[in-house]
């Protein structure tokens, strides 16, 4: 599996509030499977992921695909907790830009990338 992550200069770096940001280019998997690819917080130098933001609406470098982030069976906080918890992982799913259908199994996406920012702790 190939999920190359190439950071922008200066990331991961401290944010004004407690936490960190990793920003850069996320390349697709060389053997994509329906349901998406799991990105763990530790994959991008974080202990937990608070938010995922895609530049240019998640459009890929080729314009053929769009990436979207989904929570991956994380535990959300409950009404009795003082703070919401960060996520340990997220799932990145790739869709065809032309019709919003998820990319087919075994598609090689490792030559395509999206610009993404992971914020967390």
Of 85, 1, 98, 8, nearest to 44 by C-alpha is 8
Q: Which pLDDT value is given to residue 11? A: 62
Query: What SS3 state is found at 55?
Result: helix
Can you give the CATH number for the domain in which 109 is found? 2.60.40
pLDDT for position 3: 65
- Average pLDDT (76-88) is 73
93 φ, ψ (degrees, to nearest 5): -110, 145
Q: Quick count: other Cβ atoms within 10 Å of Cβ 44?
A: 24
Predicted pLDDT at 2: 58
- Helix, coil or strand: residue 105: coil
pLDDT of residue 82: 67
First to last CA, the chain: 26
Q: The domain containing residue 95 runs over which residues?
A: 5-120
Quote the pLDDT of residue 76.
67
Q: What is the pLDDT of residue 56?
A: 93
Q: Give the model's confidence band at 86: pLDDT under 50 very low, under 70 low, under 90 confident, else very high.
A: confident
pLDDT tens profile 29-62: 999 999 999 999 999 989 889 899 999 999 999 9
Q: Number of structural domains, the chain?
A: 1
111 has a pLDDT exceeding 70: yes
What is residue 43's three-state secondary structure?
A: helix
pLDDT of residue 71: 85
């Amino acid at each position: 599996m190939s999920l190359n992550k190439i950071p922008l200069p200066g990331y991961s770096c401290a944010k004004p509030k407690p936490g960190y940001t990793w920003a850069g280019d996320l390349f697709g998997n060389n053997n994509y499977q329906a349901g998406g690819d799991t990105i763990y917080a530790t994959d991008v130098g974080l202990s937990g992921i608070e938010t995922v933001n895609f530049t240019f609406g998640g459009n890929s470098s080729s314009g053929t695909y769009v990436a979207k982030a989904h929570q991956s069976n994380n535990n959300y906080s409950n009404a009795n907790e003082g703070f919401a918890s960060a996520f340990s992982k997220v799932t990145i799913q790739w869709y065809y830009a032309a019709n919003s259908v998820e990319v087919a199994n075994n598609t090689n996406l490792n030559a395509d990338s999206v610009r993404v920012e992971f914020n967390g702790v």
